[in-house]
């Protein structure tokens, strides 16, 4: 590729990084200007790699020794190739200006696994972010103008195939080095961005074309051998054999997953008055975390205790066909009726397929609701009406039952029924308004349910699927707080109330429920019961090619080979002081734990060992 094309592409990628910084300034506002400048400098390495990959055809057209390069049509082809492929790269970067707010990471190739959802929502996306196509058009105009200004009529050069053939080989080698990101032993990866930035500014080092290329075709895990399998299983046991002293409680169980419910909203902030009042009569885990950043990662974690520890979500991974157990499949053996309710269009995010795989017999979605007068025009049925519908469905269910309810109104793009626009408006953040509406909808659900015969014999578990794009507090923007969600256990007229500050996570919900019910059987779970005071407690998750493990005080990041950083997040809320060197004991302990988790996780998924033979 001629030097001018490369410089133009590099300028455009840098411009996209600057726009990414501006559009997501609140996320990076705690970083100093020197940090940002360093990030921009090292980001060029990732840009060059992506540019070479996206321009591989153009490179070939420019360096192959042929007299066709003198032809006008050949120059037209190279120009179209340059604009087309770099236009796609710019499009990916531009979409991520806003999409990043919802995932807290650069877009990866598994986004195409939910293509039916984003194609349907594309009109709403561009309606809400109408300025993004204008930004893209502006960048394309800049690209075309710069290309024309630097395009010079080439002089006819006599072809010497020997010399130019050698030049082709040399240039090909140089471009290969550029695509690899340098002469190091292994090509640069997404995780390498943390070498040049803090975990918080890693997305700014990267570019979206690079992360899409890096995650294309990444479908299979590899066996890990940090320990012997016996050692790994002893360090991180996932097969649970329960023999409770008390008889099984045949109580109903209702899990309510609230879209984008952050722990930041709970506790007298004026955003969730009903949930705050419910917490006064519940066990509230105030140091709880999600195991992922997306809804499709939350559902397997909550229902089947499967964490998100790979690039693809489990629902869309090549392991989605594995045999698994879930709360539903285990309780069905006890005679439970099982259901999953989500007011979205049936099929959204692969929920209906996964819950069937998890052994849930009844799915209630927008199709079953069958009344689009309550359709929000975007995601599905408004929460108030759909929760009332779900309460009635539960009342008609055989007893005992296990039910999961997933709300949706607080999913961006937000929508509140017009009749409530003034009642729930005026929040400090846009999401505050819709969370207040969802909180009100939950109040109405509990009021209706409390009048039904099954209510008093029901355990309710309430959590958020992940945190939202918006936050007022810097802690909820960092690599720990961005996973912070509440976990609440409520049993009417019980002795459950209390606040517990042990580290808790979504994958603990399944074994906790089974423990509470005195389940007397064997099951597989990557989490452990929150009532277990002996089991070491820590949280695991994955983001930007980095594995993370949190205990009650420290958060460690591991790249698969070595520890990248260690932060004392309880005292260093902005994660600024890397304590890897000064806290060797903590580093060794947490690294050993995350290695055991990863080895067992990979082995279980690869070999389809996610259930206990029954």
The domain limits of the chain are: 3-215, 253-538
482 in Cβ contact with 104 (< 8 Å): yes
556 in Cβ contact with 566 (< 8 Å): yes
pLDDT digits (tens, 9 = 90+) for 561-590: 999 999 999 999 889 899 998 998 999 999
Give the burial class of 34: count Cβ atoms within 10 A of its Cβ; 0-12 exposed, 13-18 middle, 19 or more buried: exposed
- 253-538 is classed in which CATH architecture? 3-Layer(aba) Sandwich (3.40)
pLDDT of residue 167: 61
pLDDT digits (tens, 9 = 90+) for 508-539: 999 999 999 999 999 999 999 999 998 899 99
pLDDT digits (tens, 9 = 90+) for 328-357: 999 999 999 999 999 999 888 888 888 888
Give the burial class of 313: count Cβ atoms within 10 A of its Cβ; 0-12 exposed, 13-18 middle, 19 or more buried: buried
pLDDT of residue 114: 64
If DSSP states are collapsed to H, E and C, what string results for 35-77?
Answer: HHHHHHHHHHHHHHHHHHHHCHHHHHHHHCCCHHHHCHHHHHH
Is the pTM above the cut of 0.85? no
329: Cβ contacts below 8 Å, ≥ 6 apart = 358, 359
pLDDT digits (tens, 9 = 90+) for 222-279: 999 999 999 999 999 999 999 998 999 999 999 999 999 999 999 888 899 999 999 9
Give the torsion through C-alpha atoms of 174, 178, 181, 184, to 10 deg. Answer: 0
Query: Percentage of the chain surpassing pLDDT 90?
Result: 64
pLDDT of residue 197: 78
The pLDDT of residue 112 is above 80: no
pLDDT averaged over every residue in the chain: 90
Looking at the DSSP bridge assignments, the partners of residue 558 are 547, 563
pLDDT of residue 544: 84
């Amino acid at each position: 590729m001629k030097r001018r094309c490369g410089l133009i592409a590099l300028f455009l990628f840098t411009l996209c990084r600057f726009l990414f910084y501006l559009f997501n300034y609140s996320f990076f506002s705690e970083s100093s200007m020197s940090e940002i400048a360093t990030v921009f400098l090292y980001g060029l390495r990732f840009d060059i790699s992506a540019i070479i990959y996206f321009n591989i055809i153009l490179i070939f057209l420019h360096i192959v020794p042929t007299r066709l390069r003198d032809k006008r049509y050949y120059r037209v082809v190279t120009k179209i190739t340059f604009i087309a492929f770099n236009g796609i790269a710019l499009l990916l970067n531009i979409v991520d200006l806003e999409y990043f707010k919802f995932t807290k990471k650069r877009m990866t190739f598994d986004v195409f696994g939910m293509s039916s959802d984003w194609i349907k929502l594309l009109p709403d996306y561009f309606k809400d972010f109408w300025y993004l196509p204008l930004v893209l058009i502006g960048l394309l105009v800049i690209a075309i103008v710069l290309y024309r200004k630097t395009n010079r009529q080439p002089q006819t050069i006599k072809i010497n195939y020997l010399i130019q053939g050698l030049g082709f080989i040399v240039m090909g080698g140089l471009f290969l080095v550029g695509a690899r990101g340098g002469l190091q032993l292994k090509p640069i990866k997404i995780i390498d961005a943390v070498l040049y930035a803090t975990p918080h500014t890693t997305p700014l080092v990267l570019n979206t074309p690079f992360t899409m290329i890096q995650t294309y075709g990444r479908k299979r895990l590899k066996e890990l051998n940090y320990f012997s399998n016996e050692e790994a299983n002893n360090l991180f046991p996932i097969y649970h054999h329960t023999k409770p002293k008390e008889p099984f409680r045949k109580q109903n169980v209702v899990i309510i997953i609230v879209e984008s419910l952050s722990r930041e909203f709970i506790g007298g902030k004026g955003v969730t008055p009903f949930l705050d009042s419910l917490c006064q009569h519940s066990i509230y885990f105030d140091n709880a975390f999600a195991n992922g950043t997306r809804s499709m990662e939350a559902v397997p974690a909550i229902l089947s205790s499967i964490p998100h520890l790979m690039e693809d979500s489990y629902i869309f991974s090549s392991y989605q066909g594995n045999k698994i157990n879930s709360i539903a499949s285990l309780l069905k053996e006890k005679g439970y009726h099982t259901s999953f309710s989500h007011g979205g269009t049936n099929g959204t995010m692969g929920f209906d397929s996964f819950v069937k795989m998890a052994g849930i017999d009844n799915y209630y979605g927008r199709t079953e609701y069958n009344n689009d007068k309550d359709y929000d025009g975007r995601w599905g049925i408004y929460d108030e009406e759909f929760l009332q519908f779900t309460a009635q469905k539960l009342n008609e269910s055989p007893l005992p039952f296990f039910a999961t309810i997933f709300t949706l109104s607080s999913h961006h793009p937000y929508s509140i029924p017009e009749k409530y626009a003034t009642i729930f408006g005026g929040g400090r953040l846009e999401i505050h308004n819709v969370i207040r509406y969802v909180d009100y909808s939950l109040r109405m659900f509990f009021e209706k349910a409390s009048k039904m015969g099954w209510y008093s014999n029901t355990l309710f578990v309430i959590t958020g699927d992940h945190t939202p794009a918006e936050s007022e507090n810097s802690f909820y923007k960092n690599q720990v707080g961005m996973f912070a969600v509440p976990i609440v256990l409520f049993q009417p007229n019980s002795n459950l109330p209390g606040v517990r500050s042990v580290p808790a996570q979504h994958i603990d919900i399944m074994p906790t429920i089974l423990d509470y019910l005195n389940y007397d059987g064997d099951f597989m779970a990557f989490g452990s019961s929150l009532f277990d005071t002996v089991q070491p407690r820590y949280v695991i998750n994955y983001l930007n090619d980095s594995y993370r493990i949190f205990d009650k005080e420290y958060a460690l990041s591991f790249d698969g080979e070595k520890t990248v950083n260690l932060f004392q997040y309880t005292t260093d809320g902005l994660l600024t002081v890397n304590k890897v060197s000064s806290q060797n004991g903590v580093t060794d302990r947490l690294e050993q734990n995350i290695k055991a988790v990863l080895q067992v996780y990979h082995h279980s998924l690869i070999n389809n060992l996610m259930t206990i033979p029954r």
